[in-house]
Amino acid sequence: MYKNRYILPLLFLLLFIAYYSLLKVIPADYNDIHDHAAFARQMCTGEIPYTGNFLVYLLVNLFSLFTAKVNPTEISLCALLAIAGVYKYNLSKDKIIETIQTGSNSSNNDWWAVILALAMLFVFAIPIPSYFSDDHFFYIGNYVPNVWHNSTILFLFPFAMMLFELSYKQLDAFTIKRNGWIFLLILLNLVIKPSYFFVFIAVYPVMLLCRYKLKKEFWYSIIPLAIGFLCLILEYWIIYKTGKPSNKEASSVIFLPFYRNPEFADLGQLPVSMVFSLFFPVVYTLLNLPKMLNSRLFWYTFLSFAVSVLIFLFISESGPRASHGNFYWQIVICTWFCFFVSLLSLLKDFRIQGKTFRNILLISLFSIHVIVGIIYFVRILVTGGYY
């Protein structure tokens, strides 16, 4: 389409400016983009070894021509994040077009797809009750579908989306060829950031078993997961067993139920924040409960979200990495899936039912989440704080 010739380059430029601005306005002490660029430079000079999830750092060094200098590595990282953001937008747009395309008013449909795909870059949790704390938190204590400050999860997003999409298609109709693509995406997820794979390896086999029982399709589909699990063990060994410990204390992964990191909200607030964080998906599900309960996509999406939360509540890290919150990131991706799947279902309702009061109410709730996300983004730029 002719519009994409302008939209995609413009979006890349705007996202690059956004990430570079965030890199500069968020204090370095808790700026993950700043830290990840620094890690890439240290890996480039050999000061620290490449870790198990090495791909982002390797690409940063590759596109900065292995200079190991501050400005080239930071520009390279921001460009990679902008590319990932454009890819995320384009995947969303294509899926929206597929959902709303009716053969008539295709131009209007294309523009709606552009607007809604852009909206999915900003959609955010409604920060209740966290905003009413003394610190007026937007991010802390909520289940957010988008973040702006962590480069590895931002780069992972489109690859997690593709893995989710292809695996769902595999649940609908198995093909050997698709199994190969799923395996490739599993490997890419692991070498970027294994957060979504933690969820995938728990939920996907259950969905496969429900779909195919113990037929050959189930066993063929398990093969990429089994290899991915072995790769995850290798990645664990590289990160936790071969890395140099900080302050002479090694980190590890531990089972620690309901541990509350000081940087996160009280656990007692989490049930309330869950409702408001996912207010649009929750309301949509309640208003369409019979339909959603009969949907394989619904179960795949919301089981993934439930597992992502359970991982956060029960698994943690010890040692110097204990405060990093690395077992939160899968929640961001799975929360985004909840919003996107609910939005696609609502768009189908608009196509079939038209502008009913219920549909207008639901799209209004979605719009509130988007407006909050825009406010959150502006607030980061103005204050330099993403909490």
Per DSSP, the residues of 155-174 read HHHHHHHHHHHHHHHHHHS-
Structure tokens at 104: 């008539």
Task: Specify the DSSP class assigned to residue 104.
Answer: S
Q: What is the pTM of this model?
A: 0.94
Mean pLDDT of 140-151: 94
Q: Give the Cα separation of 161 and 80 in Å (integer).
A: 17
CA–CA gap between residue 377 and residue 144 (Å, rounded): 13
pLDDT tens digits, one per residue of 90-136 = 999 999 999 997 655 666 788 899 999 999 999 999 999 888 887 88
In a domain, 307, yes or no: yes
Alpha-carbon radius of gyration of the chain: 21
Cβ neighbours for 104, distance < 8 A, ≥ 6 positions apart: none
Q: 70-100 vs 55-63: helix axis angle to the nearest 10?
A: 120
**Average pLDDT for 309-320:** 82
Percent of the chain with pLDDT over 70: 91
Helix (H, G, I), strand (E, B) or coil at 1: coil
Which H or E run contains 339?
Answer: helix 329-353
User: Residue 338: which of 359, 366, 377, 360 has the closest Cα?
Assistant: 366
Instruction: Give pLDDT tens digits for 21-56.
Output: 999 999 988 899 999 999 999 999 999 999 889 999
Task: Provide the pLDDT for residue 254.
Answer: 72
Which helix (H) or strand (E) covers residue 255, if one does?
Answer: strand 252-255
Give the whole-angstrom CA distance, residue 277 versus residue 154.
19
Judge whether 250 lies within some domain: no
**Residue type, position 54, single letter:** F
Q: Are 160 and 136 in contact (CB under 8 A)?
A: no
Residue 34 and residue 23 in contact, taking contact as beta carbons nearer than 8 Å: yes
The number of beta carbons lying within 10 Å of the beta carbon of residue 223 is 12
CA dihedral 368, 370, 374, 375 (to 10 degrees): 20
How do residues 246-284 score in pLDDT, each as one tens digit?
445 566 777 777 765 554 556 677 789 999 999 999 999
Tell me: pLDDT of 6 over 90: no
Q: Is 186 left (phi over 0), alpha (psi -120 to 50) or beta?
A: alpha
**Can you say whether the dihedral through the CA atoms of 347, 348, 353, 358 is positive or negative?**
negative
What's CA 92's distance to the chain center, in Å?
13
Distance CA 35, CA 145 (A): 22
pLDDT band at 13 (very low <50, low <70, confident <90, very high): very high
Q: How many CB atoms lie within 10 A of CB 65?
A: 10
Number of domains in the chain: 1
The Cα-based distances of 164 to 95, 315, 340 in angstroms read 13, 23, 12
**Domain presence at residue 248:** no
Alpha-carbon gap, residue 326 to 328, rounded angstroms: 5
Q: Return the bridge partners of 252, or none.
A: 318
Supply the range of the domain harboring residue 321: 2-243+255-383
- Cβ contact 128:143 at 8 Å: no
Predicted pLDDT of residue 322:
59
- pLDDT at residue 321 in the model: 65
Strands 252-255 and 315-318: antiparallel
The residue with tokens 């939360």 is: 309
Q: Which amino acid is at 57?
A: Y
- The tokens 């989710």 sit on which residue? 164
Q: Mean pLDDT, to the nearest integer, of 47-66?
A: 95
Residue 219 belongs to a domain: yes
Q: Are 191 and 52 in contact (CB under 8 A)?
A: yes
Q: Is the pLDDT of residue 4 over 70?
A: no
For residue 377, what are the contacts with CB-CB under 8 A and spacing of at least 6? 18, 122, 148
Q: Are 126 and 277 spatial neighbours (Cβ–Cβ below 8 Å)?
A: yes
* Least confident segment among 10-24, 109-123, 145-159, 239-253: 239-253
Q: Is the dihedral of CA 40, 46, 52, 55 positive or negative?
A: positive
Question: DSSP state, 267?
Answer: G
In a domain, 249, yes or no: no
Q: Select from 304, 326, 59, 291 the least CA-distant residue to 163.
A: 304
